[in-house]
Structure 1
Amino acid sequence: MAVAEESHFGRAAARLDMAQPPLSQRIQRLERELGVRLFERTSRQVTITKAGKLLLEEARELLARSETLMATARRIRNGESGLLRAALPPDIAGETVASLLTDFEQRHAGVELELQELTTTQQLTRFASRELDVGLIHHPCDVSGLELGPVLRRELGVLLPRDAAAARLDEVPLSSLSAYGLILFPRTGAPALYDDVLTTCARNGYTPPVIRHGQGASFVRGLVLSAKAVAFSPRDAQPFGSTGPDGDLVWRPLAGAPLAWRHSVAWPQGNGDAAVNAFAEAATGALRTTTAASADTPPRPLHLRPSAEFWL
């Protein structure tokens, strides 16, 4: 990895704190073991081959896993509980992440936190394979085999072009959006939630003529402005920095508050140790203080029967 990033054996050797000849020999030995040529060498430069590029990401993952293993071993050797593997969904704002990390450090400074950005589906898969200790998930979803913290609710509004007719309303009925397509996260990230959103829209008079998938701020903003489409978002997310008085987008609450994101911290049953509890308390507290999240009252089902009521 060092040779690939430096494109120079001398610089890579210096970075690795070793002499250049042993590094060249180790690269040659690795090439023989793998049966592929990793670098093309001339007297002036080193260039990674196509095979080397394909293997580079695998090498990075192997190194990351080895570092995780060593960190866990250090924690166990020192009598601590080790590494906590945690996850948050992609739609959590930076202020919430920062608040969570600060609170967790204060609650459980002795644990090394490995925080990842994973969708609900990815988190459920990693819970099942024991590759994740705790995470913040979206409901509804399959919660079998999991323990949950408090379910919090964040009301959704709609993001519109400023010149849209519905933008002049104080509250927007879903039925008034019939002429607009909908920008929604990819269904694979949280299938039951995706179906729940579309079911709620249909029951309130809005069946989107087109559904476009996107999550990145700039991408969603571009679609709202140019594709005659709208997106749903909590007020605290104020999507993408263009909803102020002089912006080209507006955010409006939905009439009757029919839609909401519902979150809770989740972890495999029987694995709720002190570190997991500290993360759950930090995440719940961060959502309460940095967003408009409140208790899900009255509570709604955490999964749907059947798993999908509504398809487009």
Structure 2
Amino acid sequence: MDLIRHLECFVAVAEESHFGRAAARLGMAQPPLSQRVQRLERELGVRLFERTSRQVTITRAGTLLLDDARELLARAEALRATARRARDGESGLLRAALPTDIAGGTLAAILAGFRELHADVELELHEVSTTQQLARFASHDLDVGLIHHPCDVGGLELGPVLRRELGVLLPREAPAAALDEVPLAALSGHDLVMFHRADAPALFDELLTTCARNGYTPPAVRHGQGTAFVHGLIAAAQAVAFSPRDVALPQQAQGEGELTWRPLAGAPLAWRHSVAWPKGRNDRTVASFAELTTRALRKGPGVGADLPAHPLHLRPAAEYWL
């Protein structure tokens, strides 16, 4: 017996006090409605209605069961709604990831926009590297994320690729800090602070290769990730680090602090980002996160589209525009 459908018939008759009106409300003929109510009465072992040729009156047992029947129907509808959200990709939880180099304003815009569009979906946001994101995609522990290129994007779908120009963060008293734009060769003699190579191996190698081609080979590469730690290394070790303008220095506008940020002459260095998600995962929550993240990044300084003129070719450890 379809209990939910039989309960719908019971509640409709109870509320209409008339089999004909209840049948019309349910969009069915009266005889099948009467049969379902009778079947429910047999299953429950109680009489739900007193019937005469002129009226239908709910019994005491029917009255006692009516509230429970309504509650069960409400729960059934909630279950159907949850199933619809799951079918449409709104399962109630979206596991997303961003790298550590996202500006606070960009992060706030993504969170606010997603909350407005999907108030009933929990956004579980993680701050993890590209390598960690790729591993979580492979283990089905991540739904969508913002990755750095170049990397292996096999099995993933990508949003638009954006290019974020990098400048240099350096001690304020360094000679290069007096320049409006800093050639890479002017950084000679300074150690370089970078993320760990394991976080994005191809990007790490690409940045160092570009530096060498432009006359800068750092005496040593130091590793740091947190903002305070990186700033401390730069100040204490007279080192430099590459960073987009929007995440360089909060105090830059006030002209305070021991460090300063300068653009690089010719803009030779950049980070390339795109939102990625597993192939076939084209639901509304993923699409919303991808659109919101791309839109928020586009508003940052030095950000533009980076569309290759040729197809993306995969090499053993990295991807390159060819």
User: Percent identity between the aligned chains?
Assistant: 65
Separation (CA, whole Å) in 2 of partners of 1:96 and 1:201: 28
1:243-282 map, 5 Å: 244-282=254-292
List alignment gaps of at least 5 residues for structure 1. 1-72
Aligned residues: 237
Match 2:128 to one of 77, 95, 118: 118
The partner residue of 2:84 within 76, 79, 99 is 79
Question: Residue 214 of structure 1 corresponds to which residue in structure 2?
Answer: 224
2:233 aligned residue = 223
* Residues 152, 318 of structure 2: 8 Å contact kept: no
Determine the structure 1 residue equivalent to 2:215.
205
Match of 2:185 in 1: 175
Residues 211-265 of structure 1: CA distance to partner in whole angstroms, max 9, x if unpaired? 0000111111111111121000001112353674232211111111000111100
Measured in 2, the distance between the counterparts of 1:277 and 1:117 equals 20
TM-score scaled by length of structure 1: 0.70
Q: What's the C-alpha RMSD, in Å, of the aligned pairs?
A: 2.4
Q: 1:240 to 1:284 in 2, by over 3 A?
A: same
Question: 1:186 maps to which residue?
Answer: 196
* Residue 103 (1) aligns with residue 113 (2): yes
Larger Rg: 2
Equivalence map 1:1-312=2 (5 Å): 77=82, 79-80=84-85, 81-82=90-91, 83-239=93-249, 241=251, 244-297=254-307, 305-307=315-317
Q: Which runs of 5+ in 2 are unaligned?
A: 1-77
- Length-normalised TM-score, structure 2: 0.68
Structure 2 CA distance, aligned partners of 1:107 and 1:267? 19
8 Å contact kept, 2:167–2:243 = yes
Relative to 1, partners in 2 of residues 1:195 and 1:153: Cα closer, same or farther, differing over 3 Å? Answer: same
- The structure-2 alpha-carbon separation of the partners of 1:303 and 1:103, relative to structure 1 and needing over 3 Å to count, comes to farther
- 1:206 and 1:303 map into 2 onto residues whose CA distance is 28
Identify if the C-alpha distance between structure 1 residues 96 and 79 changes in structure 2 by more than 3 Å, giving closer, same or farther: same
Distance 1:264 1:129, change over 3 A: same
2:252–2:261 Cα contact (<8 Å) kept: no
The CA deviation at 1:292 is: 3.7
